């Protein structure tokens, strides 16, 4: 029996329409950064270098230069204005009292100037080496280490040149000190706080 005309036309159109062909599956290449002993485990995160770069060295140099300039300027001003032992009251227990100190901060080791110079030089070299290796660990690191280096270098220059440093900041019973000593103490505080913040383990993300 002959099929109806409209069915024959529909079948003809269905045969004339091209059917989509299945596309071959493309394999994504396994791109890896670095290498592993077995060559199979992918490395997803590359370790960032902690060494100091140009920006860190520039920041450190700027802080050191500012600390040395400020300390030397205040020592020169006190030396030109006061005699050794002279005191000028400022407010409350705080006064400006010119003292010549051949030791380290706050008058310690006053009779061992050569040893103090040697230990200070060793400390400065060690700090420079530490900064070269780890200056990129935190943006604040050049500030903390720069204050320590600036204060240490300024006092070191005075000990080598004059055999002593000038202390003039006097607060009651506390031994007299200078601006370089203040920079060293502030730099140590900043450095310790920075390293503690860097080494603190990251908290796991909170679950929703």
Whether 103 contacts 158, CB under 8 Å = no
Residue with tokens 């020592």: 75
The active-site residue, picked from 71, 158, 167, 170, is: 167
Instruction: Name the least confident of 25-34, 85-94, 114-123.
Output: 25-34
Could you tell me if residue 19 is inside a domain?
no
Provide mean pLDDT across the span 178-184.
93
71 flagged as catalytic: no
Could you tell me if residue 44 is inside a domain?
no
Q: What is the pLDDT of residue 107?
A: 54
Q: Could you say which DSSP state residue 139 is in?
A: T
Domain count, the chain: 1
Candidate ranges 56-70, 152-166, 168-182; pick with highest mean pLDDT = 56-70
- 102 CB burial (10 A radius; 0-12, 13-18, 19+): middle
Could you tell me if residue 11 is inside a domain?
no
Could you tell me if residue 24 is inside a domain?
no
With cut-offs at 50, 70 and 90, classify the pLDDT of residue 46: very low
With cut-offs at 50, 70 and 90, classify the pLDDT of residue 42: very low
Q: Tell me the pTM.
A: 0.68
Rounded Cα–Cα distance for residues 110 and 108 (Å): 5
Q: How far is CA 33 from CA 29, 45, 50, 51, in A?
A: 13, 8, 19, 21
Could you tell me if residue 5 is inside a domain?
no
Domain that holds residue 103: 54-199
Q: What is the pLDDT of residue 164?
A: 86
Could you tell me if residue 39 is inside a domain?
no
The active-site residue, picked from 71, 158, 170, 181, is: 181
Whether 147 contacts 184, CB under 8 Å = yes
Could you tell me if residue 9 is inside a domain?
no
Q: What is the pLDDT of residue 204?
A: 58
Q: What is the pLDDT of residue 197?
A: 78
Could you tell me if residue 117 is inside a domain?
yes
């Amino acid at each position: 029996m002959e099929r109806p005309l409209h069915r024959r036309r529909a079948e003809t159109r269905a045969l004339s329409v091209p059917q989509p062909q299945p596309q071959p599956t493309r394999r994504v290449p396994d791109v890896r950064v670095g290498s592993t002993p077995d060559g199979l485990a992918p490395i997803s995160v590359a370790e960032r270098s902690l060494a100091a770069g140009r920006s860190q060295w520039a920041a450190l140099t700027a802080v050191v230069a500012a600390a040395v300039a400020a300390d030397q300027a205040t020592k020169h001003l006190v030396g030109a204005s006061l005699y050794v032992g002279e005191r000028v009251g400022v407010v409350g227990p705080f006064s400006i009292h010119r003292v010549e100190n051949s030791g380290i901060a706050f008058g310690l080791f006053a009779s061992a100037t050569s040893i103090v110079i040697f230990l200070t030089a060793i400390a400065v070299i060690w700090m420079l080496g530490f900064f070269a290796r780890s200056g990129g660990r935190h943006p604040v690191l050049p500030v903390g280490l720069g204050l320590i280096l600036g204060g240490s270098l300024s006092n070191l220059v005075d000990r080598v040149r004059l055999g002593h440093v000038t202390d003039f900041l006097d607060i009651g019973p506390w031994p007299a000190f200078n601006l370089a000593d203040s920079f060293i103490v502030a730099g140590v505080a900043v450095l310790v706080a920075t390293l503690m913040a860097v080494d603190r383990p990251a908290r796991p993300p909170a679950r929703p």
